[in-house]
Structure 1
């Protein structure tokens, strides 16, 4: 409703809430319903046959169609199908006296938005129309109002955070808002949420830098990190004779998982908790820790030869994950159980796994590593086309959601569901959008990552990164004397002064990992049990 001022008079003007086409061969008996909708601000066009309805639909700009099923001539179902061929996304409400199940199924198969049984009253029609035409706007207003009402209390919550669990809960809440705000078309509110996230992330950085060594030295909080993935989620089940599946989705973040999991709720009971990756938050360190059940220093001390073999060349970084898994099972007195390891790094291998997945049905522990999200993140920095498609965090989430809906991975999950066993889905680390280039000086043999560096005589201002002067206190091995670990904070990334502009052009606004941020370190651990 709006107001219009003319010559000193204030005239009430009803805003047009949308144009509705109502087709019914007894349309003359529905005048009171039409007047009610018009009083509510809708523009209503009427037709007394399917043929007339189709002609009006072609000529006019229609937002919603109310369609009677039992009309003479072209009936409602036929009209529905004809209209959908022209505009598949047009919302249609089917109205009928017929309650037979076959008709409902055919209408639903033709993608109707709602189904109403006659007689219908004006209020019922109004609510159905409002729900379709204004649902997004109503939801957006509610989300915005809810967010603003909790804004101050949320800021206080991040100020008061004292434990890693506190940060898990804060990050979970933020990710909920982020996913909800994908539906809100309000730049100012989105900017407010983004500012709140960045401010909260800085506080998390301060907490993590200050407390990380203490968290690792405490036997209880130590178990909140990725090396305890199997121990916390599957070891007891395996000891009790139950089978399980561990799926590690490389580079999966909590906000992405929240959207992905919506696709799975119809098939699974899902319980999502969180754990922390270790630093550097990279595949080499964190995923090897998941399979070994050991922090990097423990793995080095346990098997120095294997560790040195792993770091010899990049292709060896995660080459021995199945060996590490078998060793962890042995340390937990589970040598006797059958286990298998599958890594999927391409679409072709994914389709092959779909065909062969039931070959693993009798395996006690099946571990699957899925590299799609990590490959997508790295490919974006190399591909101009992907940069056009993945313009921001929301588009990244949408692509991943579309993938889980339509990919080989969903087919594999559908088959595993039939096995009736526990599935654990987690990640080794997440990613952050790199936005602030930081100049760094170091010897040439420094490691290549842009969010972390390992090498000698690395020079950078301390406010931009965590310098690990005693790596062993961070549960990291010293491979060479005087070697430093440097971990980027916030959304910083390291570049050398030489070819500075070239590197900034390549890496700015790309998804990276290895540093300290909530998006990189706090990863979901979801337990899925088939319904």
Structure 2
């Protein structure tokens, strides 16, 4: 291993010549100093130090004092403490001060090598192993994608792709990330064809749990156990984002079950979330509650009756008295109210909390240059989701009820996909503006890019007009009108959108947790 530079501070450096010679033979460069002050000076002048070996007992300032100053100026450089003293309190203090390893004198050359391998080479070795493992898995996933998968097969393949994506995030092997990205595109292309072939039959009951059956299949059955249940719906939460925030939940909760449901089309809040809370398809909502449904082309909020739809579904399906409450958090004021009142909510049989943040994040990223810069790619999108969640009033609220005997169901309404391929659409003034689906009368479009619904009623969707039809974008396509085409292409390429057909938008997590 060459190219690694070690700074070694020890007042008995002359006695360490065999160890230094051993390291140099192995290709390491070693800079030596005899006290803590010189170590700090060397660190100031030398910005390419990779690891520091620090003697605990040196004249002047001690190893621990030197360590504290190193961590102030260079917190990311690994430090190995070397000591004659095995006193427990000393080791505890050193470890508490974030040393990466420690060695007891006399130092054995092989011990030094092992420590260096562990600290410096660890990331490289993990990266190489991850890349090698993915290369072996690549062919199997490719064969699966093209093997005529069923619902379970697609869910499993999607989970595999996401798990590899998260592993490769850590390893930072760019070439492998590019290959995985191509594989995900291929998977989305085949998955879109699968949805086109099967969507209508799913709506007849021959398929996965979908938005309109989610509560009936996944939530209402557990209410029978007479344990307070909190259903947390994080708008726009993708499976990969769930996997990133899952470890935070696991600090306080145990996982009972991790399952999935398929969002209905369009994979947008107006359709999928109303379907979840009503237990009905949009066309059925319009027929049963005409005053509660607004079509895309009608003025007004499209999700203002979720509370009433939920209450109606509980009465219709449960057929018994259920003490329920519906809370919607759309800004920090409502987030604080949730935090203040969370203890009261666990007195209910069912509390539904809809938390709008991830959806706002994806929309804001489209509009704001500073967010585009911050959330450059999928990895950054996931990372920002984690940062938000850790520091949100929501997590603070959940911590307050973690010791209660409750059940927590974490889910979403639909996911979102990063779009990259524009597809031209021509429509009249009544045509909707969504980039992933369109509703209109006189639509002209690239048939290969879409799933078309000439008769929306077959998809359980209302018709704004007699001749209205829906089209849904496949994979990572997005719809653009011919006017100002180049401007909007540049503006929307590489943004997160939803409403169409992709693994990310349709396959949604539904996770059941209990208090530890």
Tell me the secondary structure at the aligned position of residue 264 of structure 1: helix
| Aligned position for 1:295 | 281
- Partner Cα distance (2:134, 2:162) in 1: 13
- Partner Cα distance (2:159, 2:232) in 1: 21
**CA 248–103 in structure 1, closer or farther in 2 if over 3 Å, else same:** farther
- Partner Cα distance (2:19, 2:316) in 1: 73
- Partner Cα distance (1:153, 1:456) in 2: 44
Q: 1:505 aligns with which of 490, 511, 515?
A: 490
TM score, norm. by length of structure 2: 0.92
Structure 1 position 185, deviation (Å)? 3.8
| Aligned position for 1:41 | 27
| Aligned position for 2:472 | 487
Alignment of 1:99-498 (within 5 A): 102-116=89-103, 121-219=108-206, 221-222=207-208, 224-270=209-255, 271-308=257-294, 313=298, 315-333=300-318, 335-498=320-483
Tell me the secondary structure at the aligned position of residue 250 of structure 2: coil
Tell me the secondary structure at the aligned position of residue 248 of structure 1: strand
- Partner Cα distance (2:392, 2:355) in 1: 12
- Partner Cα distance (2:94, 2:64) in 1: 7
Where does structure 1 lack aligned partners over 5 or more consecutive residues?
2-14
**CA 444–185 in structure 1, closer or farther in 2 if over 3 Å, else same:** same
- Partner Cα distance (1:93, 1:20) in 2: 11
| Aligned position for 1:11 | none
The answer to whether structure 1 residue 57 and structure 2 residue 43 are counterparts is yes
Tell me the secondary structure at the aligned position of residue 232 of structure 1: helix
**CA 352–109 in structure 1, closer or farther in 2 if over 3 Å, else same:** farther
Structure 1 position 334, deviation (Å)? 6.2
**CA 476–73 in structure 1, closer or farther in 2 if over 3 Å, else same:** same
- Alpha-carbon contact 1:250-1:374 (below 8 Å) kept: yes
- Partner Cα distance (1:339, 1:75) in 2: 62
- Alpha-carbon contact 1:272-1:526 (below 8 Å) kept: yes
- Alpha-carbon contact 2:5-2:30 (below 8 Å) kept: yes
Tell me the secondary structure at the aligned position of residue 332 of structure 1: helix
- Partner Cα distance (1:177, 1:337) in 2: 42
- Partner Cα distance (1:74, 1:480) in 2: 82
Where does structure 2 lack aligned partners over 5 or more consecutive residues?
none
Tell me the secondary structure at the aligned position of residue 357 of structure 1: helix
1:200-248 deviation digits (Å, cap 9, x = unpaired): 11110100111111122235x24x2122332333322211101111111
- Alpha-carbon contact 1:237-1:243 (below 8 Å) kept: no
- Alpha-carbon contact 2:228-2:405 (below 8 Å) kept: no
Aligned length: 514
Structure 1 position 174, deviation (Å)? 0.7
The Cα RMSD (Å) is 2.4
- Partner Cα distance (2:172, 2:435) in 1: 33
Tell which deviates more after alignment, 147-156 or 66-75.
66-75
**CA 401–104 in structure 1, closer or farther in 2 if over 3 Å, else same:** farther
| Aligned position for 2:76 | 89
- Partner Cα distance (1:149, 1:361) in 2: 48
Tell me the secondary structure at the aligned position of residue 316 of structure 1: coil
- Partner Cα distance (1:116, 1:356) in 2: 52
Structure 1 position 116, deviation (Å)? 4.8
Structure 1 position 358, deviation (Å)? 2.5
- Partner Cα distance (2:353, 2:341) in 1: 13
| Aligned position for 1:9 | none
Tell me the secondary structure at the aligned position of residue 182 of structure 2: helix
Structure 1 position 285, deviation (Å)? 0.8
TM score, norm. by length of structure 1: 0.90
Structure 1 position 181, deviation (Å)? 1.9
- Alpha-carbon contact 1:161-1:167 (below 8 Å) kept: no
Structure 1 position 318, deviation (Å)? 1.1
- Partner Cα distance (2:105, 2:311) in 1: 64
Structure 1 position 479, deviation (Å)? 4.3
- Partner Cα distance (2:91, 2:329) in 1: 41
Structure 1 position 24, deviation (Å)? 3.6
- Alpha-carbon contact 2:7-2:51 (below 8 Å) kept: yes
- Partner Cα distance (1:441, 1:178) in 2: 36
